[in-house]
Amino acid sequence: MNAIKRHIFFLALGYTFLGSAQQLPQFTQYVYNTMSINPAYAGSRETLNITALHRNQWAGIDGNPTTSTLSAHSPLRFSNVGIGLSYINDNLGFEKTNYVYADFSYTVPLNQKVNMAFGLKGGFTNYRLSTPDVNDPFFAGGFTEWNPNFGAGIYISSNRWYIGASSPRILNTDLNEGEFAAIERNSYYAIGGYVFDIGRTTKFKPTAIMKYTNGAPATYDVTANFLFFEKFWIGASYRFNDADNFGVVMDYAISDSFRIGYAYDQPTSTFRPYSGGTHEVILIYELFKRSLGGIKSPRYF
């Protein structure tokens, strides 16, 4: 890609992502990284959970978006409180955005099988723009800015289903206070999923997520996963109104404590001829515990 094409590409990409809003990264494997969008999820796994994820979007395009995340959350012993901490590093060309946020949840049992959790999220977003092209007066020197923000959410779940609603960034924040459009606008999410038994060793889990950001089109993800022998998930996903991506998702339990997952997305719109697709890898560690009645019941989300 020559310099002119690269410049055009970044202008188009910048308009797509930043013309109206600096949006949070969205993940294909969001079911296993729910705390990034809903603080009420913190502690819901009923044990210490540490999740690392890396997303390489539109591989093969110079300056393509890449995102890395690391999060940890756990319930507090002998209480209904869950706490968490998350870090997201999002890169797009000369732009870098870092999110450092803490999460707090409080769970209220509705009955023996259903819990309702309320969550709060608070922290800082760091936006940085840098470029080696010092001859460009618009970008020369770059800049960096730290801004606080907070969010809230609700999460209702049993062992077989869940629904939730959240706004992980409530404040509308100008990330650079300059002429370049980089505004962190508040986003709203709605999520839901259910697990069905379709055989002695097979389960089916459809899930959905809706995301709406002020000033940007709403996006919708639908995913259908099959679980075999309580070990191996495989399924497909489709995202509407965001370059219309089709993807495949796989997740394997290496042991009682470790799981690894992989997702591949292929855009079905304008970027398809220029992209090698999107690759996403996730690694999950959970502190394995046995319950008083034997092995802890499995968790499906």
Domain membership of residue 300 (yes or no) is no
pLDDT mean over 183-208: 93
Nearest Cα residue to 214 out of 183, 249, 174: 183
The total domain count for the chain is 1
CB atoms within 10 A of CB 193: 20
Strand locations in 112-244 (E): 115-129, 143-157, 161-167, 173-174, 183-184, 187-194, 196-197, 202-213, 219-228, 232-240
Residue 47: the pLDDT is 93
Domain membership of residue 103 (yes or no) is yes
R_g of the chain computed on alpha carbons: 20
Q: Per residue in 92-122, pLDDT tens?
A: 888 899 999 999 999 999 999 999 999 999 9
| In the chain, % of residues over pLDDT 90 | 56
Domain membership of residue 9 (yes or no) is yes
Query: Which of 57-61, 209-213, 274-278 has the largest mean confidence?
Result: 209-213
End-to-end CA distance of the chain: 41
Domain membership of residue 301 (yes or no) is no
Residue 177 domain boundaries: 3-295
CA max distance for the chain? 69
Q: Which residue has the higher pLDDT, 217 or 167?
A: 167
Domain membership of residue 288 (yes or no) is yes
Distance CA 65, CA 27 (A): 12
Domain membership of residue 218 (yes or no) is yes
pTM of the model: 0.87
Distances (CA, A) of 17 to 68, 94, 240: 18, 13, 16
- To 5 degrees, how large is the angle CA 264–CA 94–CA 142? 155
Domain membership of residue 35 (yes or no) is yes
Q: Per residue in 31-57, pLDDT tens?
A: 989 999 999 999 999 999 999 999 998
Nearest Cα residue to 250 out of 280, 294, 217, 293: 280
Domain membership of residue 286 (yes or no) is yes
CATH, residue 228? 2.40.160.60
Residue 162: the pLDDT is 98
Residue 276: the pLDDT is 75
pLDDT mean over 27-32: 90
Element (H, E) at 278: strand 278-286
